[in-house]
Structure 1
Amino acid sequence: MLRNLVRAVFTIVGAMIGYGVFLLAKYLIEFSGHEEWVDFSGVQELCIIALFAIIFGLLFFRLTPTLKKQGNKMANNIESDLQKMSTNDIIMGTIGLIAGLIIAFLISQIYATINIPFLNVILNVITYIILGYLGIIIATKKGPDIRNIITSSRSAASSGRNRQKTGAPPKIFDTSVIIDGRILDIMKTGFIEGPVVIPEFVLVELQHIADSSDSLKRNRGRRGLDILNKIQTDYGIEIYNTMSEKALDEIPEVDIKLLKLAQIMNGKVVTNDFNLNKVAGIKGVEVLNINELANTLKPVVLPGEEMELALVKEGKENNQAVAYLDDGTMIVVEEGRKFIGLTIKVLVTSVLQTSAGRMIFAKPAAGR
């Protein structure tokens, strides 16, 4: 019963399209200056209309299974895309569609001066379709940037703590910097300028780490999710949906995806990953490394300085002992093994600075 009803509906639609095709053909012939070709009597015109309606009605009747199949496929694709989209993307897409249709309406008023009815209709349809589509695409692709700009403006007006310059490049966070957690304190100081971007695939990686069978990884993943939730709560930063970035679909590695996204958005990657830092340099992507920042901000220690330290364990070489500064910097004390467990004065002999951190060498001060 339902199948026959669908066929009947398609047949009626086909007949109506056939009638429309006849009217369009008649108008075009008249517009070309050959009115005599379509100078039909009432009965003749009715018969021709019936012929067009029957031909197109039968055509749509025969094509009903194909059209129905394609319609179901299209509906399933749309439903699948909507399920993958976040609520924010759907809202932004709807707003973009409305904005596009409003602009199309304003432009369509210009077409009212064209005294060609069918051309008028065609131009209106094309304008509404193109601007509606552009409204959806622009709103969904640039939605995170728009939200971040609005959020940063509100924050600057209320507290001035999260000041962001809209002209500054986006800062794209990777998994390591979120798990580390120090980025949250840096954001509180207002040093992070420009929109903050947390890609969807970074969230997925955090979830995988949090679901790991290894307890250490699981705890790190859960800490990362807690930090991410805190960032979202405090600064209103949404997860960036990368589905619209087709260039990322064929890239399986998260790190390479991150660098590609940075190139697309002309942004900077914020990370703690030493290897990612190196690869980014090769690909010409700018990186903000939190570890490098922390090392830069550590107090300067010069050879010849004297300090008091608690020696806590043995070093790798004979007679070496190891101590730590308050900021975690390791100090290797030559000839200090016999003082392990004691607090003594040491004299700095050399400082080794590497991209992985800083190491200080010292020896017991005179009198020891």
Structure 2
Amino acid sequence: MIRKVIRIILTIMGVMLGYFLANSILSIEGISHIDNIRENLVLAMSSCIIFSLIIGIIFYFISPLLIKLLFNFMEYIEKYTQKMAMIDILLGATGGIIGLLIGVLIGTLFASISEFFAILSIIGSLSLAIICGDIAVKKKEEIIAFFTGLNRRNNSKEKKGKRSNNFGEVPKVLDTSVIIDGRILDISGTGFIEGPLVIPQFVLDELRHISDSADDLKRTKGRRGLDILNKIQKDLPIEVQISDMDFPDITEVDSKLLKLAQVLNGKVVTNDFNLNKVAEFQGVPVLNINDLANAIKPVLLPGEELKLQIIKEGKENNQGIGYLDDGTMIVVENGKRYIGEFIDASVTSVLQTSAGRMIFATRKS
């Protein structure tokens, strides 16, 4: 329907253009004297109508090509803007408008000199608009910092003694693993992670596919993830955004996730070790739930004593494995023979990794 409407509009534009062109041609001094064509009203009107119909018919037949080019251009603009952050678009448009206004003001001083200077002023105005828009985008951080500084100074009395909320304004993009994990619900409830929490549509689609899986375990995990999202949205006073932004040229969900975080200037919230490493390599900030869990575990130093039960044997010869209440694994040298018993152990060393904290100990004699 829209194509038909645009085709009709283009045809009408062609007719109008034909009329103005015919009228302009008839106004030319050399042509207007031929058989006094301007004085012959019927001949003049007939010429305008015929010329208008010819141009209108031409526009009617070439309109499908023009419409196709228009839609391709719109699609290109849409794909290009999807990859840009909203702040970049706003700053670029603002810089372009300011540059255009400056160019017009300067151009009016020279446009009256001659037609050449008028054309030159138009080109200069457009060039200045492009340059100013590009500068505004490239200087984004400095512009934001400048206005943020002004806002802070203007409201210094109101904000005195209060903690800045800038950290909370950074979008937190959730990946599938951290949603299924569920700990994000408890962490968000404590207020340590502030919104907005961004859930991409492609992550929701992945959760839906997992919840529809024939495998019972996968199906349970997928449904748990959807339940967690519903609880976050309904029970917590935190902003939750569903992002429809997608990247058709990228197939993997993890790669889309990192790209979305880059576009939004946000951080990825995950507990996926591999995604964490790829994000670090690409320079995307990451909030790893496992790192947070490890950071809040009790600190045990070499020489400290603890009581634990040996649960199973370790990988190395004669090692015994026990666990603290928070799940931290304790490797006890020569503890294999005490499996099933409670022993007093002394910490010898602590190994910290992204996968968790491992503590080595020996039985206290």
Which TM-score band applies after superposition, normalised by the shorter structure? 0.5 to 0.7
> Where does 1:314-333 land on structure 2 (aligned, <5 Å)?
314-333=313-332
Note if 1:239 corresponds to 2:239: no
Task: Name the SS of the counterpart of 1:303 in structure 2.
Answer: coil
Residue of structure 1 in register with 2:42 after alignment? 43
Per the alignment, residue 156 of structure 2 pairs with none
> Does residue 24 in structure 1 map to residue 20 in structure 2?
yes
How far the C-alpha of 1:277 sits from its partner, in A, is: 1.1
SS class of match (1:48): helix
SS at match of 2:240: coil
CA contact (8 A) 2:23 2:48 kept: no
Q: Deviations over 1:263-313 (max 9, x none)?
A: 222222111111111111211222111101110110001122121212222
Q: Distance in 2 between matches of 1:314 and 1:284?
A: 41
Q: How does 1:281-300 map onto structure 2 within 5 Å?
A: 281-300=280-299
Query: 2 CA distance for matches of 1:286 and 1:236?
Result: 20
Partner in structure 2 of residue 199 of structure 1: 200
Following the alignment from structure 1 to structure 2, what is the Cα–Cα distance between the partners of residues 364 and 242? 56
Identical positions, percent: 54
Q: How far is the alpha carbon of 1:28 from its aligned partner?
A: 4.8
Cα separation, 2, equivalents of 1:174 and 1:33: 73
Q: Deviations over 1:305-333 (max 9, x none)?
A: 12121222222234332211111001122
TM-score (norm 1): 0.62
Structure-1 separation of matches of 2:287 and 2:9: 64
Task: State the partner residue of 2:358.
Answer: 359
Alignment of 1:175-254 (within 5 A): 175-193=176-194, 195-233=196-234, 234=236, 235-243=238-246, 248-254=247-253
Given the superposition, is the C-alpha separation of residues 166 and 341 from structure 1 closer, same or farther in structure 2, using an over 3 Å criterion? closer
Task: Measure the CA separation in 2 of the matches of 1:212 and 1:12.
Answer: 51
Letter in 1 for 2:316: E
1:223-282 residue CA offsets vs partner (Å, 9 max, x unmatched): 112112222334352320114xxxx32111122222222222222211111111111121
Cα–Cα, structure 1 residues 18 and 349, in superposed 2: closer, same or farther, change >3 Å?
closer
What corresponds to 2:336 in structure 1?
A: 337
Matched pairs, number: 275
Per-residue CA deviations over 1:198-217 (Å, capped at 9, x if unaligned) read 22222222222222232222
- Could you give the per-residue CA deviations for residues 19-50 of structure 1, whole angstroms, max 9, x where no partner exists? 52244225656998999577343312331243
Displacement of 1:67 after TM fit?
4.5
Contact 2:197 2:239 in 1 (8 A): no
Q: In structure 2, what is the Cα distance between the partners aligned to 1:224 and 1:167?
A: 23
Counterpart secondary structure, 1:309: strand
The separation in 2 between residues aligned to 1:29 and 1:194, in whole angstroms, is 65
- Pairwise CA RMSD of aligned residues? 4.3
User: Separation in 2 of the partners of 1:239 and 1:253?
Assistant: 19
SS at match of 1:177: helix
Task: Output the amino acid matched with 2:17.
Answer: V
Deviates more, 1:289-298 or 1:309-318: 309-318
CA change 1:54–1:352 in 2 (3 A) is closer
Partner AA of 2:272 in structure 1: D
CA distance in 1 between counterparts of 2:229 and 2:8 reads 55
Partner of 1:273: 272
Matches within 5 A, 1:3-152: 14=11, 17=13, 19-25=15-21, 28=24, 36=32, 39-56=38-55, 59=58, 63=61, 67=64
Distance change (3 Å), C-alpha of 1:198 and 1:20: same
Give the 3 Å change call, closer, same or farther, for CA 13–228 of structure 1 in structure 2: closer
Q: Is the 8 A contact 2:19 2:49 kept in 1?
A: no
Deviations 1:44-82 (A, max 9, x none): 233124313543565577x49x859x79xx7xx99xx9x
Distance in 1, Cα, partners of 2:325 & 2:344: 16
Q: Matched residues in 1 for 2:265 and 2:318: separation?
A: 52
Contact 1:18–1:52 (CA under 8 A) maintained in structure 2:
no
* Residues 330 and 360, structure 1, Cα contact 8 Å, conserved in 2: yes
Closer, same or farther: CA 28–295 of 1 in aligned 2, 3 Å: farther
In structure 2, C-alpha distance between the alignment counterparts of 1:47 and 1:300, rounded to whole Å: 96
Question: Is contact 2:201–2:242 with CA below 8 Å preserved after alignment?
Answer: yes
Runs of 4+ in 1 over 4 A off after TM superposition: 10-14, 16-19, 26-38, 56-61
Match of 1:50, SS state, is helix
Q: Would you say the 8 A contact 2:168–2:193 is kept in 1?
A: no
Contiguous gaps of at least 5 residues in structure 2: 79-100, 102-163
What one-letter code is carried by the residue in structure 1 that aligns with 2:243?
Y
1-structure distance, mates of 2:39, 2:27: 16
**Structure 2 length as normaliser, TM-score?**
0.62
